[in-house]
A and B are shown apart, each in its own frame.
Chain A
Amino acid sequence: EAGVTQFPSHSVIEKGQTVTLRCDPISGHDNLYWYRRVMGKEIKFLLHFVKESKQDESGMPNNRFLAERTGGTYSTLKVQPAELEDSGVYFCASSPGTGASLWETQYFGPGTRLLVL
């Protein structure tokens, strides 16, 4: 069974440019999560999809970030325009079930390393 995949693995862009990150969850997983780790900080929750619906986007830093999950399969996270402080590692995770259980395991992808110059 394929795990969570993320594209690209690395991205280097200049301030003001746009970048789109993609996540493909494990097949059949309705729940998809985005997390981010900026340099020297903890991994932080960004948002949670159940199928194509955003259930919780309380962690999105500002309106320069737009996440979509059309059709309830893969998800994209667009940063437009990118700022220096957006640099970090963006992780995607998915889980089966309802997403409403404390004990549900989230399966993580390898992350996308974003560097904004």
Chain B
Amino acid sequence: AQSVTQLDSHVSVSEGTPVLLRCNYSSSYSPSLFWYVQHPNKGLQLLLKYTSAATLVKGINGFEAEFKKSETSFHLTKPSAHMSDAAEYFCVVSEIPGGYNKLIFGAGTRLAVHP
């Protein structure tokens, strides 16, 4: 079965500094991986997704993630944090038991951005 581990439950950065949110996955075959973000009182929004076309995936709002098969990782990065990036981030893997898609979520990482 697929699984996802987000290595940090909380990350705190200063505005303008880089962001790194770590994610490791477990999969018996080539996975499909996503990062979703949830701002306070908002729904889950897709940041980016890995579909095997390219290992470096660019998403919205300057975020990107790199798929590293040898390390089974899919870490999310951003060069310079903005106050509006404060939110909870979810690393997600997709699996298809019985032929239909369902998402497996990591526990989430809360990102705090300080002035």
Interface residues, chain A, with chain B CB atoms under 8 Å away = 3-4, 31, 33, 35, 41-45, 48, 50, 55-56, 58-59, 91, 93, 95, 99-111
Contacts and interface: CB of A to CB of B under 8 A. Distances in A.
Given A4-B43, A58-B97, A103 B106 contact: no
Interface of B: 31-32, 34, 36, 41-46, 49, 51, 90, 94-108
B107 A42 contact: yes
A20 B44 CA distance: 21
A4 B97 CA distance: 25
19 contacts: A3-B43, A41-B107, A43-B90, A43-B105, A43-B108, A44-B105, A48-B100, A48-B101, A55-B100, A56-B97, A59-B102, A100-B101, A102-B32, A102-B94, A103-B51, A105-B46, A105-B49, A106-B101, A108-B43
B43 A56 contact: no
Contact of A109 (B43, B99, B104, B106): B43
B102 A48 contact: yes
A100 B101 CA distance: 5
Nearest to B92: A43
A103 B63 CA distance: 19
Given A100-B99, A102-B96, A103-B94, A45 B43 contact: no
A62 B99 CA distance: 23
